[in-house]
């Protein structure tokens, strides 16, 4: 197991960054994560020392860029245990990846009457593209019921599936409730019944070991910035055959092998047909570096340590009588409210103590139908957080009634 | 110490209007003009109604879901502008916005609204403290068209 105090030295923002006059305690890792020096250096190295274009020039510089860019693809492939690197498409993030599946695959494969299964805990990015596609092709959106705790279970998947079900679009770990979906079982059941599974991995891939061969998931979307990488870069993993059947949603330079004035276009093979235009080269190379960094800590150890942090925090929160917790036994983010305090007001109070905590609906705007509260606070940890930070957070929870102090602090 | 500089008093003003908002609740009356104000970034979401009698603001109503800062600032706004002419109300709004954005303002015009003079210290709350006020401005401007 890694030493968290050693790890923290790698993050400039954990060494001197102040918020509201206090050392920053960053508990909004579900939104984005802090960057280690290694990633910053990798991005700067590209910008400083070899900032040419990829897949273009016939000179050494461009070749060097190509090597680094494709090396990042290899790193991602190994990280999620994909069969081949051509199954790794670089996108601008999870949202972009999910849109690519919806418009590039869903739109060309769904027919009127086909069903798309979601849950009410899905993020807007795994909901709105499907609403739009359903409208366009006449498909039907249905919801897999969550169990009492808010979990997605295989039993409820079975109940929701019908002969018309063609696509299940579900988060591997949901962004507010944080429960882990039994992906392997769900994929096996879906495949037996002729459906494919699109997984939103934005909140899972950064926090646990990912193995797309073991789960047999068909598409998996995730973002770089939620795992110590730069913003504006992410990945769509897709089984190679499915990527071949997926239509690019953007066309242009780099995605075609030839075309003529009659409009006959020959596209490249995946993943290149999806990467039209100059890609986010420093982002991709930075993502490779971020994956190298988190892998060096061991994903299983990261998961174990975060579970330990969460359990510690939950125990302390349970001892407070002014806190409502909505997902005590989950493993991801903690969704809660301070009794009688509007979430936005409480978040301001935490801000006053230098603690970054998210308030609101967290881009899951139909989850309130399940939780019966319109908004919540959310704390989400990463491997660089500590129990000492949690202790300070707990002290501020106790001050909840004084939330207006924040306004005058 | 000037009582308006006492955070405890400012705090009590806000809590009082949060817990007992004045003029809250919408009315079914077509003579009221209505606007929905919601924040893109947080959950504040208020409907605001204003009834004009010629040039005078005869009534202000509002309802919806909003945090303490948004609710109380709207409540105070409603008390301040009822019975005022549009021009007087706009002068109050202008002074309020000047206070929020750290410019010169006349605190006598703002009465209890000076409770929000520290809003700039929590910049993320500026939207909360101005949502209802901006709704009023919108309705006044629309009534002039």
ipTM of the shown complex: 0.72
pLDDT score for A294: 98
Whether pLDDT at B2 is above 60: no
pLDDT score for A138: 97
Please write down the long-range contacts of A366-374, taking CB distance under 8 Å and 24 or more positions apart. A366/A120, A366/A122, A366/A127, A367/A120, A367/A121, A367/A176, A367/A177, A369/A120, A370/A120, A370/A121, A370/A146, A370/A150, A371/A150, A371/A326, A371/A335, A373/A326, A373/A337, A374/B43, A374/B65
- Sheet of A358-360: strands edge to edge? A323-325, A334-338, A376-379, A358-360
The full set of domain ranges for chain B reads 3-139
pLDDT score for B76: 97
pLDDT in tens, A212-253: 999 999 999 999 999 999 999 999 999 999 999 999 999 988
Task: Name the range with the highest mean pLDDT among A263-267, A384-388, B36-40.
Answer: A384-388
pLDDT score for A281: 97
Give the residue with greater pLDDT, A253 vs B17.
Answer: B17
Distance from CA of B145 to the nearest CA of A (A): 35
Partner A contacted by B39 (CB < 8 A): no
What is the arithmetic mean of pLDDT over A73-78? 98
Residues of A in contact with B65 (CB under 8 A): 374
Q: How far is CA A218 from CA A90, A187, A313, in A?
A: 16, 8, 35
Average pLDDT, chain A: 94
Residues of B in contact with A405 (CB under 8 A): 11
**What pLDDT band is residue A67 in, cutting at 50, 70 and 90?**
very high
What 3 state SS string does A217-272 have?
Answer: CCEEEEECHHHCCCCCCEEEEECHHHHHHCCCCCCCCCCEEEECCCCCEEECCCCH
Whether pLDDT at B1 is above 70: no
Q: Class of B3-139 per CATH?
A: alpha beta
pLDDT in tens, B86-95: 999 999 999 9
pLDDT in tens, A14-36: 999 999 999 999 999 999 999 99
Residues of B in contact with A360 (CB under 8 A): 42-43
pLDDT score for A409: 61
Identity of the residue in A344, A348, A407 whose CB atom sits nearest the CB atom of B43: A344
Give the residue with greater pLDDT, A306 vs A176.
Answer: A306
Does the distance separating the beta carbons of A360 and B122 come in below 8 Å?
Answer: no
pLDDT score for A366: 75
Does the distance separating the beta carbons of A374 and B43 come in below 8 Å?
Answer: yes
Optimal mutation site among B39, B41, B125, B127, interface A, most CBs of chain A within 10 A: B125
Residues of A in contact with B69 (CB under 8 A): 344-345, 407
What is the arithmetic mean of pLDDT over A61-88? 96
In chain A, % of residues over pLDDT 90:
84
Identity of the residue in B44, B66, B122 whose CB atom sits nearest the CB atom of A406: B122
The catalytic residue positions of A are 363
Partner A contacted by B118 (CB < 8 A): yes
Distance from CA of A402 to the nearest CA of B (A): 10
Identity of the residue in B14, B15, B43 whose CB atom sits nearest the CB atom of A361: B43
Average pLDDT, chain B: 92
Whether pLDDT at B133 is above 70: yes
Domains of chain A: 4-31+298-408 (3.90.1150.10), 40-296 (3.40.640.10)
pLDDT in tens, A392-406: 999 999 988 777 876
Partner A contacted by B15 (CB < 8 A): yes
Interface of B with A in 40-79 (CB under 8 A): 42-44, 65-69
What is the arithmetic mean of pLDDT over A8-13? 98
Whether pLDDT at A359 is above 60: yes
């Amino acid at each position: 197991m890694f030493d968290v105090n050693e790890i923290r030295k790698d993050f400039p923002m954990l060494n001197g960054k102040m918020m509201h006059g206090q050392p920053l305690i960053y508990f909004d890792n579900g939104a984005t994560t802090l960057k280690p020096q290694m990633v910053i250096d990798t991005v700067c190295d590209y910008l400083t020392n070899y900032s040419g274009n990829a897949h273009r020039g016939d000179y050494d510089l461009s070749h060097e860029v190509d090597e680094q860019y494709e090396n990042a693809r290899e790193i991602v492939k190994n990280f999620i245990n994909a069969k081949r690197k051509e199954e790794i498409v670089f996108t601008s993030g999870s949202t972009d990846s999910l849109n690519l599946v919806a418009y590039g695959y869903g739109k060309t494969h769904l027919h009127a009457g086909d069903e798309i299964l979601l849950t009410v805990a899905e993020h807007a990015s795994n909901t709105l593209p499907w609403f739009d596609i359903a409208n366009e092709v006449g498909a039907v959106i249905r919801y897999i019921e969550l169990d009492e705790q808010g979990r997605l279970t295989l039993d409820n998947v079975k109940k929701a599936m019908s002969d018309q079900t063609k696509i299940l679009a579900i988060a591997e770990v949901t962004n507010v409730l944080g429960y882990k979906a039994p992906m392997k079982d769900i994929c096996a059941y879906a495949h037996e019944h002729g459906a494919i599974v699109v997984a939103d991995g934005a909140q899972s891939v950064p926090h646990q070991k990912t193995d797309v061969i073991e789960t047999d998931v068909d598409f998996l979307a995730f973002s770089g910035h939620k795992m110590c990488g730069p913003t504006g870069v992410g990945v769509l993993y897709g089984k190679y055959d499915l990527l071949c059947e997926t239509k690019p949603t953007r066309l242009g330079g780099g995605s075609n092998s030839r075309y003529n004035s009659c409009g006959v276009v020959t596209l490249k093979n995946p993943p290149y047909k999806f990467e039209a235009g100059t890609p986010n080269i420093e982002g991709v190379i930075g993502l490779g570096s971020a994956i190298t960094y988190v892998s060096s800590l061991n994903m299983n150890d990261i998961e174990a340590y975060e579970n330990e942090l969460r359990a510690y925090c939950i125990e302390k929160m349970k001892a407070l009588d002014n806190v409502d917790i909505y997902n005590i036994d989950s493993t991801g983010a903690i969704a809660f409210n301070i009794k009688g305090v509007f979430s936005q007001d409480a978040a301001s109070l935490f801000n006053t103590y230098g603690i970054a905590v998210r308030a609101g609906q967290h881009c899951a705007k139909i989850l309130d139908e399940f939780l019966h509260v319109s908004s919540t606070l959310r704390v989400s940890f990463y491997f660089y957080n500590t129990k000492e930070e949690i202790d300070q957070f707990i002290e501020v929870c106790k001050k909840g009634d004084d939330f207006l102090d924040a306004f005058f602090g | 110490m000037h009582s308006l500089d006492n955070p405890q008093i400012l705090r009590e003003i806000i809590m009082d209007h949060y817990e007992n908002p004045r003029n809250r609740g919408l009315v079914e009356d077509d003579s009221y003009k209505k606007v929905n104000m919601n924040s893109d970034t947080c959950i504040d979401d208020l409907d605001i109604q204003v009834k004009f009698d010629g040039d005078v603001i005869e009534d202000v109503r509002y309802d919806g879901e909003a945090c303490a800062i948004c609710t109380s600032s709207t409540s105070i706004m409603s008390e301040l502008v009822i019975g005022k002419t549009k021009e007087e109300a706009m002068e109050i709004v202008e002074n309020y916005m000047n206070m929020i954005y750290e410019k010169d303002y006349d605190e006598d015009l703002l009465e209890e609204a000076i409770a929000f003079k520290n809003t700039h210290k929590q910049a993320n709350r500026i939207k909360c403290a101005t949502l209802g006020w901006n709704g009023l401005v919108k309705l006044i401007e629309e009534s002039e068209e």
